[in-house]
Amino acid sequence: MQKKSLFIKACEKKNDDRPPVWIMRQAGRYLPEYRRVREKHDFISMCQNPELAAEVTLQPIRRYAMDAAILFSDILVIPQALGSPLRFEENKGPVFDKPIRNPKDLEQWKENEAIENLSYVYKAIKYTKESLGDTPLIGFSGAPFTVAAYLVEGYVQKRFQVIKSMIFENPTFLKQIMDVLCETTIAHLNNQIKAGVDAIQIFESWANHLSCEDWKTFSYYYIEKIIKGLDNPENIPVIVFSKGSHFLLPHLKPTSADVLSLDETCPMLDMAKTIHKSVALQGNFDPALIYASPKIIEKKVNEHLVKMKNFKGYIVNLGHGLLPDMDPEHVKVFVETVKSF
C-alpha cells in the first residue's frame, strides 16, 4: 500500500511531522503561468477543458510543491450543469442572467442531465491524477446556501437582499431550490470520489450572512446531508470551510466533517485545544499576510507553527483564498517556511 501523505495523515489526526500546507485559490490569477493560459481561454472554457483544468491544477504544485493540489473548477458548475446559463464578468465575478426567484424559473433545470453535463470534471480528475504523482488531490463543491446565493441574486452584491428576503418570505421555495442543489452536489461529489480524488472540501463561503438560527436550517443541515450522502468506501477525508461562522463552531463540533477549515477571525489555538480531539483543523493565516515582506511572513508562520506543534491534525492554509495581486515570491516564502519547519 502507498505510504500516506502528510496531508492525509493530518486529516486523520495522525501526523507526527511538520504540518502539511496548501492554499485556497492556489491555482489562479496571481500566477503568471495561469494568466498565460487565461489570455487564450475564458474561465469557463478552462474549467470545461480537462487538459487545461489539469494543467492549471498542476501549476502551483510544480512551482511550490504544496502538500495537496485542489482541482481547478468552480462551485458554480453545478447550477450551470442543471441548466442555468453562467458567465464570468471581469470585475463583477459570476453572473446568472436568469436568476431563480420563483417556481417557474425552475423550469430551466434538467436535473437528470446535470451529472452527464459535468463529465468534464471527472475527466479532469483522471488527467490530473495521472500527472500528480504522490501529491493528494482535493475535489470540492460549494455548500447549497453559498451556491443558491449566487443563483437567486444573479450576481453577488454583498448585501444578499434577494436570498435574505427569501429566507423570511418564502423559505419553502428556497429549500426546494437547495434540495435540488444538495442532491446534485452529492452525486457530483460521489463521481469525484469515483474518479479518484483523495479528499473533498465543501465551501460555505457566505455562511457569515446567516443568523445563528438560519445557519442551522440553511447551512449546517445541508452540509450534514451532503456528508452523510457520500458514497465513500475508502473514507477519504471531508473538509468543511464555513467562512465567518466561528461563533457557530460549538455547533459544528458534532459535524461529520473530518477537518474544519477556519477563517482568520477564529482563534486557532483555542479551537485546537477545545475541539481537536473530535476534528482536525485547517487554516487560518490572514490572507493579507502574503502582502507583508518575506521576513515578516517567515516570522509569523514560524511563531504560529511553534504554537501548533503538538497537534497531529493540523493543516496550514490561509483563512480564505489567494488574491490576483499577490506576489508569487511571497507565496513561495509562505510555503517554504512551513516545509522547512
Interacting residues toward ligand 1CP by CB under 6 A: 24-29, 38, 43, 70, 72, 74-76, 88, 93-94, 140, 203, 205, 321
Give the torsion through C-alpha atoms of 77, 81, 83, 89, to 10 deg: 30
Q: Write the DSSP string, 316-334.
A: EEESS---TTS-HHHHHHH
Nearest CB to ligand 1CP, comparing residues 27 and 239: 27
The residue annotated as part of the active site, out of 18, 38, 63, 87, is 38
- With CB atoms as reference, the residue minimizing the distance to ligand 1CP is 205
Which segments of 173-313 are extended strands (E)? 199-204, 238-242, 259-262, 280-285
Is residue 150 among the annotated active site residues? yes
**Separation of alpha carbons 31 and 35, rounded Å:** 6
Nearest CB to ligand 1CP, comparing residues 80 and 311: 80
In degrees, rounded to 5, the angle at the alpha carbon of residue 191 between the alpha carbons of residues 30 and 226 is 85
- Minimum CB–partner distance for residue 86 and ligand 1CP (Å): 10
Is residue 38 among the annotated active site residues? yes
- Minimum CB–partner distance for residue 75 and ligand 1CP (Å): 4
- Minimum CB–partner distance for residue 201 and ligand 1CP (Å): 7
Cα distance from N-terminal residue to C-terminal residue, the chain: 28
Is residue 35 among the annotated active site residues? no
Nearest CB to ligand 1CP, comparing residues 13 and 266: 266
Nearest CB to ligand 1CP, comparing residues 41 and 276: 41
Is residue 62 among the annotated active site residues? no
The residue annotated as part of the active site, out of 18, 25, 63, 87, is 25
The residue annotated as part of the active site, out of 30, 34, 150, 314, is 150
The C-alpha cell at 11 is: 486529516
Element (H, E) at 216: none
**Separation of alpha carbons 218 and 165, rounded Å:** 13
Nearest CB to ligand 1CP, comparing residues 13 and 219: 219
Is residue 327 among the annotated active site residues? no
- Minimum CB–partner distance for residue 35 and ligand 1CP (Å): 8
H, E, C per residue of 20-68: CECCCCCCCCCCHHHHHHHHHCCHHHHHHCHHHHHHHHHHHHHHHCCCC
Name 136's Cβ contacts closer than 8 Å, sequence gap at least 6: 5, 7, 8, 67, 68, 69, 198, 199
Whether the CA torsion 295, 297, 303, 309 is positive or negative: it is: negative
Cα-trace Rg, the chain: 19
- Minimum CB–partner distance for residue 58 and ligand 1CP (Å): 11
Nearest CB to ligand 1CP, comparing residues 35 and 110: 35
* Residue 74, CA distances (Å) to 11, 42, 79, 134, 168 in order: 23, 13, 11, 24, 29
The residue annotated as part of the active site, out of 34, 64, 67, 74, is 74
Are 123 and 184 a contacting pair, CB within 8 Å? no
Nearest CB to ligand 1CP, comparing residues 96 and 203: 203
- Minimum CB–partner distance for residue 16 and ligand 1CP (Å): 28
- Minimum CB–partner distance for residue 231 and ligand 1CP (Å): 22
Give strand pairing partners of 239: 201, 259
Give the residue numbers marked as catalytic: 25, 29, 38, 74, 150
